[in-house]
Amino acid sequence: MDNLDTIDYNTPDAGDLYDELPLWSAPFGLWILDRVPLGQTSTILDLGCGTGFLSIELAERCGPSSTVIAVDPWAAAMERLRRKIRHRGLANIQLKEVDAVGLDLPDQSIDVIVSNLGVNNFMDPGAVMRVCSRLARPGAAFLLTTNLVGHMAEFYAVFRKVLLTTGQGDRIEALDSHINHRATIASVSASLANAGFGVSEVDVSAFRLRFASGSALLRHYFIRLGFLPAWAEVPTADKVRPTFEALENELNALALERGEIALTIPMACIFARRE
Ligand SMILES: C[S@@+](CC[C@H](N)C(=O)[O-])C[C@H]1O[C@@H](n2cnc3c(N)ncnc32)[C@H](O)[C@@H]1O
């Protein structure tokens, strides 16, 4: 690729791959892009890269003398990332289609680690942090973003009420454990510290996901993809359908009262360095 290699709008790939960033990931990813150190020559690891918008953006912003290593075991997402890389003609991204726990890279070979909505949601974040600790050179940056406990509190308040009104008080514990599995600043900072990364900066913010009604919320594509499977595990197995009918009704009533359903998403961007 040279510096006059334009992209033709009129190819099928240009249309198909133009819309390439999950909206849910965008506010978190923009934070990383605003803070990540842009070395002239660096090796950057993107853990849980998904379809790779951040890997691509970093590869392009850092330029050909830097390398991005994009890691994710999700085969379909990695296939899309391969297509995007081909379409753009990028030569400075390597793909590792593996669980990050099994990453086979040299010790102290990484300058920057990023993970957008990633590592603290992995099955074994502690094991991945230990891998990061081995791979990071001293002084390497680690930037991760996450949603926090408190995420969608408005929805969970209705969920709690519905469990009680449908005779499922015994499932409140399951709801609480689902709510509390999310990160806190303290939990993420502690797991970074355990892996030898000192937290130097924490930014906290929030945004809202707004819906006209409960019916719209429960049918939204990303809700169905990213959240509904875990929500459906909260009620008693034979009460899932009536629970969701009641939830939809309650949320619809709330939307009529408030004019909308707005869900707050508290978020954090945590910047650490390998000690
Ligand atoms: C919420 S998605 C975020 C994807 C992407 N970073 C983004 O911002 O759009 C979490 C990603 O982590 C990946 N993942 C889960 N466990 C993983 C592991 N052990 N090692 C590497 N990636 C993992 C998932 O496949 C998924 O693509």
Question: Quick check: 146 and 31 in contact, CB under 8 A?
Answer: no
The whole-number average pLDDT for the span 28-55 is 96
Q: What is the pLDDT of residues 118-166, one digit of tens each?
A: 998 899 999 999 999 999 999 999 999 999 999 999 999 999 999 999 9
**Ligand 1 residue neighbourhood (C-beta within 6 Å):** 22, 25, 29, 47-50, 71-74, 77, 99-101, 116-118, 121-123
Report the residue among 71, 117, 123, 130 best suited for mutation to probe ligand 1: largest number of ligand atoms under 8 A from its CB: 117
Q: Where are the domains of the chain?
A: 1-147, 148-182+207-264
CA of 114 relative to ligand 1 center, distance in Å = 12
Task: Kindly report the average pLDDT of the chain as a whole number.
Answer: 96
What residue's CA is closest to ligand 1, atom 19?
99
How would residue 47 be classed by pLDDT, with cut points 50, 70 and 90? very high
1-147 is a CATH 3.10.20.340 domain: no
> Residue 5: pLDDT above 90?
no
The whole-number average pLDDT for the span 176-199 is 96
What residue's CA is closest to ligand 1, atom 13?
48
The candidate with the shortest Cα–Cα distance to 185, out of 126, 100, 120, is 120
Supply the pTM of this predicted model: 0.96
Report the residue among 36, 96, 105, 122 best suited for mutation to probe ligand 1: largest number of ligand atoms under 8 A from its CB: 122
Q: Which atom of ligand 1 is nearest to the CA of 50?
A: 27
> Residue 203: pLDDT above 90?
yes
CA of 160 relative to ligand 1 center, distance in Å = 29
Question: Quick check: 48 and 71 in contact, CB under 8 A?
Answer: yes
How would residue 254 be classed by pLDDT, with cut points 50, 70 and 90? very high
Q: How far apart are CA 101 and CA 188, in angstroms?
A: 18
Task: Measure Cα distances from 87 to 5, 70, 96 in Å.
Answer: 12, 17, 19
How would residue 245 be classed by pLDDT, with cut points 50, 70 and 90? very high
Determine the pLDDT at residue 231: 98
What residue's CA is closest to ligand 1, atom 16?
122
Determine the pLDDT at residue 4: 86
What residue's CA is closest to ligand 1, atom 24?
48
CA of 79 relative to ligand 1 center, distance in Å = 14
Determine the pLDDT at residue 140: 98
Q: Which atom of ligand 1 is nearest to the CA of 22?
A: 9
